[in-house]
Amino acid sequence: MEPASQGCLKRHCLVTVGATVGFEDLTRAVLRPAFWEHLKSQGFTALRIQCGPDITWASSELSSHSDDIPPGMTVDVFEVSKNLMKEEMALCKPVHGQRRLGLVISHAGTGTILDAWKLGLPIIVVPNTRLLNDHQTELARHLGNEGYAIHSSTGREAISKAELLWEDNKSRWPPNDPSRSQDADAISIWDIQPGGAQKEEVAQMTHD
């Protein structure tokens, strides 16, 4: 139960699978009414699911369960966003008196993970094990081991751990303003890379 003072505030959860390759397992998991009920119990008022090429069947799935959406909560699916960080992820940032800190649930795409870090948001990383060479699992495991993200699924325990991890990490790096220039943001990114990764390697990763 959240405090009464926070009960009327908005709280957003963003799920993103990437723009080019679908992630059916993750999309189906977050389209289950049981998942919506758990989000609602944690004070979330909005769930936005970016599902890429799976938009057609995901829209149909959501429509078939529309009557199961908890009162006071909205659930929406969309294909892609021109600027996911500014248009969608920024809605997870807290605004005093209006909105509580939200949550990002993402495939293990490095560009998305970096954006969540830049905004100072808690993130659950769910690797898409069906991709070639299962490269996302290695990254997700490393981030989890280093304490930069929760490597898990969309279960209750993962959501609770993500909030606790965010509290622990608040002093590790300050969130950035997404309206800042690209150059200024790029400088700050290098300061928060896990494992001492080289700049050239990260520059290549951000295209994921």
Question: Bigger pLDDT: 204 or 149?
Answer: 149
pLDDT of residue 153: 59
Residue 175 has pLDDT above 60, yes or no: no
pTM of the model: 0.73
Answer yes or no: CATH 3.50.50.60 is held by domain 4-205: no
pLDDT of residue 154: 57
- Please name which of 18, 123, 106, 30 lies closest in space to residue 75, comparing C-alpha atoms: 30
pLDDT tens column, 46-88:
999 999 999 999 999 999 999 999 999 999 999 999 999 999 9
Q: Nearest 5 degrees, angle CA 39-CA 41-CA 45?
A: 55
pLDDT tens column, 186-203:
333 223 233 333 333 333
pLDDT tens column, 78-114:
999 999 999 999 999 999 999 999 999 988 788 888 8
d(CA 74, CA 69): 7
Question: Bigger pLDDT: 174 or 48?
Answer: 48
What does DSSP say about strands 103-106 and 123-125: parallel, antiparallel, or unpaired?
A: parallel
